[in-house]
Amino acid sequence: MGSLILGGIVSVCLCIATGLGMWMRARLPDHHLNVDSKEVIRLATAVVGTLSALALGLLIASAKSAYDNADLELKSSAAHVVLLDRLMAHYGPETSDARDLLKSIIEKRLERGWTVDDSDETTGQFRGEFQDIEAVQNSLRTLKPQTDAQRLIQTRALDVSGVVAEGHWLLVERNNEGLPWAFLTVLIFWLALLFATFGLQAPTNGTVAIILVVCSISVGGAVFLIVDMAKPYTGVIHVSDTPLRAALARLGQP
Protein backbone atom coordinates (compact mmCIF):
# COMPACT_ATOMS: atom_id res chain seq x y z
CA MET A 1 0.00 0.00 0.00
CA GLY A 2 1.31 3.46 -0.92
CA SER A 3 2.36 5.77 1.89
CA LEU A 4 0.11 8.56 0.60
CA ILE A 5 -2.93 6.26 0.54
CA LEU A 6 -2.12 4.99 4.03
CA GLY A 7 -1.83 8.54 5.35
CA GLY A 8 -5.23 9.35 3.84
CA ILE A 9 -6.78 6.23 5.38
CA VAL A 10 -5.40 7.18 8.80
CA SER A 11 -6.86 10.69 8.49
CA VAL A 12 -10.27 9.29 7.53
CA CYS A 13 -10.18 6.77 10.40
CA LEU A 14 -9.40 9.51 12.91
CA CYS A 15 -12.18 11.72 11.54
CA ILE A 16 -14.62 8.79 11.82
CA ALA A 17 -13.44 8.09 15.37
CA THR A 18 -13.96 11.76 16.27
CA GLY A 19 -17.44 11.75 14.74
CA LEU A 20 -18.28 8.56 16.61
CA GLY A 21 -17.21 10.20 19.87
CA MET A 22 -19.43 13.22 19.19
CA TRP A 23 -22.33 10.93 18.27
CA MET A 24 -21.93 9.04 21.55
CA ARG A 25 -21.75 12.31 23.53
CA ALA A 26 -25.19 13.32 22.27
CA ARG A 27 -26.70 9.98 23.34
CA LEU A 28 -25.04 9.15 26.64
CA PRO A 29 -26.81 10.03 29.92
CA ASP A 30 -25.49 13.19 31.61
CA HIS A 31 -23.98 11.33 34.56
CA HIS A 32 -21.65 9.49 32.14
CA LEU A 33 -20.03 12.78 31.26
CA ASN A 34 -19.98 14.60 34.60
CA VAL A 35 -16.81 16.12 36.04
CA ASP A 36 -15.65 12.92 37.73
CA SER A 37 -16.22 10.83 34.62
CA LYS A 38 -14.30 13.28 32.43
CA GLU A 39 -11.41 13.26 34.87
CA VAL A 40 -11.14 9.47 34.69
CA ILE A 41 -11.35 9.62 30.89
CA ARG A 42 -8.55 12.19 30.79
CA LEU A 43 -6.33 10.07 33.03
CA ALA A 44 -6.93 6.94 30.97
CA THR A 45 -6.36 8.68 27.65
CA ALA A 46 -3.21 10.32 29.03
CA VAL A 47 -1.68 6.85 29.33
CA VAL A 48 -2.67 5.97 25.75
CA GLY A 49 -1.43 9.36 24.55
CA THR A 50 1.95 8.77 26.17
CA LEU A 51 2.22 5.33 24.59
CA SER A 52 1.25 6.79 21.20
CA ALA A 53 3.88 9.53 21.51
CA LEU A 54 6.55 6.95 22.36
CA ALA A 55 5.50 4.74 19.46
CA LEU A 56 5.52 7.68 17.04
CA GLY A 57 8.97 8.67 18.27
CA LEU A 58 10.30 5.17 17.69
CA LEU A 59 8.79 5.02 14.20
CA ILE A 60 10.19 8.43 13.28
CA ALA A 61 13.64 7.43 14.51
CA SER A 62 13.47 4.14 12.59
CA ALA A 63 12.31 5.81 9.36
CA LYS A 64 14.92 8.58 9.62
CA SER A 65 17.64 5.99 10.26
CA ALA A 66 16.58 3.98 7.19
CA TYR A 67 16.59 7.12 5.05
CA ASP A 68 20.00 8.30 6.28
CA ASN A 69 21.53 4.84 5.81
CA ALA A 70 20.20 4.63 2.26
CA ASP A 71 21.54 8.08 1.44
CA LEU A 72 24.96 7.17 2.86
CA GLU A 73 25.02 3.86 0.97
CA LEU A 74 24.17 5.61 -2.29
CA LYS A 75 26.98 8.13 -1.87
CA SER A 76 29.39 5.36 -0.91
CA SER A 77 28.39 3.26 -3.93
CA ALA A 78 28.82 6.25 -6.26
CA ALA A 79 32.28 6.91 -4.82
CA HIS A 80 33.31 3.27 -5.27
CA VAL A 81 32.09 3.30 -8.87
CA VAL A 82 34.24 6.37 -9.63
CA LEU A 83 37.20 4.77 -7.83
CA LEU A 84 36.79 1.55 -9.82
CA ASP A 85 36.69 3.51 -13.07
CA ARG A 86 39.89 5.40 -12.17
CA LEU A 87 41.66 2.17 -11.25
CA MET A 88 40.78 0.65 -14.60
CA ALA A 89 41.89 3.84 -16.36
CA HIS A 90 45.29 3.59 -14.67
CA TYR A 91 45.59 -0.07 -15.61
CA GLY A 92 45.54 0.64 -19.31
CA PRO A 93 43.44 0.47 -22.51
CA GLU A 94 42.71 -3.23 -21.91
CA THR A 95 39.94 -2.18 -19.52
CA SER A 96 38.06 0.07 -21.97
CA ASP A 97 35.21 -2.42 -22.46
CA ALA A 98 34.81 -2.91 -18.72
CA ARG A 99 34.77 0.87 -18.20
CA ASP A 100 32.07 1.29 -20.83
CA LEU A 101 30.02 -1.43 -19.15
CA LEU A 102 30.45 0.22 -15.76
CA LYS A 103 29.20 3.49 -17.19
CA SER A 104 26.19 1.77 -18.73
CA ILE A 105 25.28 0.35 -15.30
CA ILE A 106 24.92 3.87 -13.88
CA GLU A 107 23.04 5.10 -16.95
CA LYS A 108 20.55 2.24 -16.72
CA ARG A 109 20.12 2.75 -12.98
CA LEU A 110 19.21 6.40 -13.54
CA GLU A 111 16.87 5.43 -16.38
CA ARG A 112 15.19 2.44 -14.78
CA GLY A 113 14.83 3.77 -11.26
CA TRP A 114 15.41 2.11 -7.91
CA THR A 115 13.13 -0.88 -7.80
CA VAL A 116 14.94 -4.19 -7.80
CA ASP A 117 12.36 -5.70 -10.16
CA ASP A 118 13.32 -3.08 -12.77
CA SER A 119 17.08 -2.97 -12.19
CA ASP A 120 17.58 -6.75 -12.11
CA GLU A 121 15.15 -7.56 -14.90
CA THR A 122 16.44 -8.41 -18.38
CA THR A 123 14.61 -6.20 -20.87
CA GLY A 124 15.35 -6.34 -24.59
CA GLN A 125 19.07 -5.88 -25.13
CA PHE A 126 19.63 -4.83 -21.51
CA ARG A 127 20.75 -7.40 -18.98
CA GLY A 128 20.00 -7.27 -15.28
CA GLU A 129 22.19 -4.99 -13.23
CA PHE A 130 23.73 -7.84 -11.25
CA GLN A 131 24.73 -9.51 -14.53
CA ASP A 132 26.46 -6.33 -15.69
CA ILE A 133 28.36 -6.01 -12.40
CA GLU A 134 29.46 -9.64 -12.65
CA ALA A 135 30.54 -9.03 -16.25
CA VAL A 136 32.79 -6.20 -15.07
CA GLN A 137 34.28 -8.47 -12.43
CA ASN A 138 34.84 -11.26 -14.97
CA SER A 139 36.56 -8.80 -17.29
CA LEU A 140 38.88 -7.77 -14.47
CA ARG A 141 39.69 -11.39 -13.65
CA THR A 142 40.68 -12.16 -17.24
CA LEU A 143 43.24 -9.36 -17.36
CA LYS A 144 46.85 -10.47 -17.66
CA PRO A 145 48.98 -7.88 -15.87
CA GLN A 146 52.47 -7.38 -17.22
CA THR A 147 53.94 -5.30 -14.40
CA ASP A 148 53.79 -5.22 -10.62
CA ALA A 149 51.82 -1.98 -10.79
CA GLN A 150 49.16 -3.60 -12.98
CA ARG A 151 48.95 -6.57 -10.60
CA LEU A 152 48.35 -4.24 -7.67
CA ILE A 153 45.75 -2.28 -9.63
CA GLN A 154 43.96 -5.48 -10.70
CA THR A 155 43.80 -6.73 -7.11
CA ARG A 156 42.51 -3.39 -5.87
CA ALA A 157 39.98 -3.11 -8.70
CA LEU A 158 38.60 -6.56 -7.90
CA ASP A 159 38.21 -5.55 -4.25
CA VAL A 160 36.36 -2.36 -5.18
CA SER A 161 34.14 -4.19 -7.69
CA GLY A 162 33.20 -6.57 -4.89
CA VAL A 163 32.10 -3.59 -2.78
CA VAL A 164 30.00 -2.30 -5.70
CA ALA A 165 28.36 -5.73 -6.07
CA GLU A 166 27.74 -5.84 -2.33
CA GLY A 167 26.00 -2.46 -2.52
CA HIS A 168 23.67 -3.83 -5.18
CA TRP A 169 22.73 -6.89 -3.15
CA LEU A 170 22.16 -4.72 -0.08
CA LEU A 171 19.58 -2.84 -2.14
CA VAL A 172 18.00 -6.16 -3.14
CA GLU A 173 17.77 -7.34 0.46
CA ARG A 174 16.28 -4.06 1.67
CA ASN A 175 13.85 -3.63 -1.19
CA ASN A 176 10.88 -5.04 0.72
CA GLU A 177 11.81 -3.63 4.08
CA GLY A 178 9.46 -1.25 5.79
CA LEU A 179 7.81 -0.54 9.08
CA PRO A 180 6.31 -3.43 11.08
CA TRP A 181 2.63 -3.49 10.17
CA ALA A 182 1.53 -4.91 13.52
CA PHE A 183 3.22 -2.02 15.31
CA LEU A 184 1.67 0.49 12.93
CA THR A 185 -1.80 -1.04 13.30
CA VAL A 186 -1.68 -0.83 17.09
CA LEU A 187 -0.53 2.79 16.85
CA ILE A 188 -3.44 3.71 14.57
CA PHE A 189 -5.83 2.03 17.00
CA TRP A 190 -4.42 4.08 19.89
CA LEU A 191 -4.74 7.28 17.87
CA ALA A 192 -8.32 6.46 16.91
CA LEU A 193 -9.13 5.86 20.57
CA LEU A 194 -7.64 9.23 21.51
CA PHE A 195 -9.61 11.09 18.86
CA ALA A 196 -12.80 9.27 19.87
CA THR A 197 -12.34 10.57 23.44
CA PHE A 198 -11.68 14.06 22.04
CA GLY A 199 -15.01 13.91 20.27
CA LEU A 200 -16.67 12.50 23.39
CA GLN A 201 -15.61 15.48 25.47
CA ALA A 202 -15.74 18.22 22.84
CA PRO A 203 -18.65 20.65 22.53
CA THR A 204 -20.56 20.21 19.29
CA ASN A 205 -19.72 23.37 17.35
CA GLY A 206 -18.13 24.07 14.00
CA THR A 207 -14.88 25.48 15.32
CA VAL A 208 -14.10 22.40 17.41
CA ALA A 209 -15.08 20.09 14.55
CA ILE A 210 -12.78 21.90 12.08
CA ILE A 211 -9.87 21.85 14.52
CA LEU A 212 -10.27 18.12 15.12
CA VAL A 213 -10.46 17.43 11.39
CA VAL A 214 -7.29 19.47 10.80
CA CYS A 215 -5.57 17.56 13.60
CA SER A 216 -6.67 14.26 12.03
CA ILE A 217 -5.20 15.31 8.69
CA SER A 218 -1.99 16.40 10.42
CA VAL A 219 -1.58 13.03 12.14
CA GLY A 220 -2.30 11.26 8.86
CA GLY A 221 0.40 13.42 7.27
CA ALA A 222 2.84 12.37 9.99
CA VAL A 223 2.09 8.69 9.31
CA PHE A 224 2.58 9.32 5.58
CA LEU A 225 6.01 10.87 6.20
CA ILE A 226 7.08 8.02 8.48
CA VAL A 227 6.01 5.24 6.11
CA ASP A 228 7.39 7.04 3.06
CA MET A 229 10.82 7.66 4.59
CA ALA A 230 11.02 4.00 5.58
CA LYS A 231 11.24 3.23 1.83
CA PRO A 232 13.92 5.71 0.83
CA TYR A 233 14.47 4.45 -2.71
CA THR A 234 10.88 4.24 -3.94
CA GLY A 235 8.88 6.67 -1.81
CA VAL A 236 7.72 10.20 -2.59
CA ILE A 237 10.51 11.40 -0.29
CA HIS A 238 13.37 9.42 -1.80
CA VAL A 239 17.12 9.79 -1.72
CA SER A 240 18.58 12.10 -4.34
CA ASP A 241 20.25 10.62 -7.40
CA THR A 242 22.70 13.56 -7.52
CA PRO A 243 25.67 11.42 -6.37
CA LEU A 244 25.07 8.99 -9.24
CA ARG A 245 24.77 11.80 -11.78
CA ALA A 246 27.97 13.33 -10.47
CA ALA A 247 29.67 9.94 -10.71
CA LEU A 248 28.38 9.44 -14.27
CA ALA A 249 29.93 12.76 -15.30
CA ARG A 250 33.33 11.52 -14.12
CA LEU A 251 33.22 8.06 -15.67
CA GLY A 252 35.19 7.39 -18.83
CA GLN A 253 37.62 10.27 -18.39
CA PRO A 254 41.23 9.54 -19.38
Residue 204: name the closest of 18, 41, 43 by CA: 18
Per-residue pLDDT band for 119 (boundaries 50, 70, 90) equals: low
Residue 164 has pLDDT above 60, yes or no: yes
pLDDT single digits (tens) 137-149: 998 999 999 999 9
Most confident of 19-33, 58-72, 151-165: 151-165
Q: Give the range of the structural domain holding residue 164, as residue numbers without chain letter.
A: 3-250
Per-residue pLDDT band for 113 (boundaries 50, 70, 90) equals: low
| Rounded average pLDDT over 100-121 | 73
Residue 112 has pLDDT above 60, yes or no: yes
Q: For residue 191, what pLDDT is reported?
A: 92
pLDDT single digits (tens) 208-226: 889 999 999 999 998 898 8
Least confident interval from 8-17, 58-67, 109-118, 235-244: 109-118
Number of domains comprising the chain: 1
Residue 120 has pLDDT above 70, yes or no: no
